[in-house]
Structure 1
């Protein structure tokens, strides 16, 4: 099982990267979550934001697999403990890569290596379109989409 998306964004990779890692922008792009990480390969990565456990609810956690600023972010992905009791057994891999194409940025996302019978696959398939569209809009305009959340 694999989810794969390609978006072309009318700005440089540095601006797209800023939307991914700058908490003020990523909070909007990831619908209320920000990345917490040392950004050292092998260390933990979490997407944290308001939720059932308060303002620091862990929505996604995993290990950082690759990190090259303005180019690639890859990590293992587990749902937060408050979302599923069996969160530790539910895993996939997310790889976001950025490439300059002309004066635009090609954002390529692959979400693969899903554990068998992972119930998040179909839900994630719906949300990536919204998240990636939001990243594109924020990088190009500075505004986030009103997705009704």
Structure 2
């Protein structure tokens, strides 16, 4: 991290099509199934606002759709709102890339923030693997692996 940026990068391979994975990432009725009831509310157009909404209506994160190129790439300006110590670190950037590979799709998440040692990156480093494990399992088997989100 000599560039002063904290990053979390995660890749997984999911036996599905880019179109099915894109739909799973962007349709609220689908995200609720693997993201512990969370929905992402937006129209998925570059420049549009987005927000992450818990089942009780609490908005935990928000930002702007920086880029939307279905079914290949989604980039989000990301502001955490819920935990004050994470919100204080400022705006993060999350890039989601889909790449067809041998009958599957490589899904890569690159979540970064220009803040060395960022607690936000530590938090997303615990959340993204749980969310993406559920997404992979749901698309491949019809069932999620984990029923509850981590504490905090």
- Normalising by structure 1, what TM-score? 0.86
Question: Partner residue of 1:39?
Answer: 44
Which residues of structure 2 form unaligned runs of 5+?
1-5
Identify unmatched segments of 5+ residues in structure 1.
Answer: none
CA-CA distance at 1:83 after TM superposition: 3.1
For residue 84 of structure 1, report the CA deviation from its aligned partner. Answer: 2.2
| Structure (1 or 2) with the greater strand fraction | 1
More displaced stretch, 26-35 vs 101-110: 26-35
Q: CA-to-partner distance for each residue in 1:28-48, whole Å, 9 max, x for gaps?
A: 222221111121211111111
Q: In the alignment, what sits opposite 2:137? A: 137
Query: Aligned partners of 1:110, 1:129: CA distance in 2, in Å?
Result: 12
| Cα gap change, 1:135 to 1:114, in 2 (>3 Å) | farther
**Number of residue pairs the alignment of both structures matches:** 144
Q: Distance in 2 between matches of 1:48 and 1:86?
A: 17
Offset, 1:122: 1.3
List structure 1 segments (4+ residues) > 3 angstroms apart after TM superposition: 114-118
8 Å CA contact 1:91, 1:115 repeated in 2: no
Asked if the contact 2:28/2:41 (under 8 Å) is kept, the reply is: no
| Shift in CA distance, 146/86, structure 1 to aligned 2, threshold 3 Å | closer
Shift of 1:85: 7.5
Pairs within 5 Å for 1:1-149? 1-50=6-55, 55-80=56-81, 82-84=82-84, 87=87, 89-116=89-116, 118-149=118-149
User: How many angstroms does 1:117 deviate by?
Assistant: 5.3
Once residues 89 and 48 of structure 2 are traced to their aligned partners in structure 1, the CA distance between those partners, rounded to angstroms, is 19
SS at match of 2:84: coil
The superposition leaves residues 78-124 of structure 1 with CA deviations (integer Å, 9 ceiling, x where unpaired) of: 112x4327736522111111111121101011011343553222121
Cα RMSD (Å): 1.9
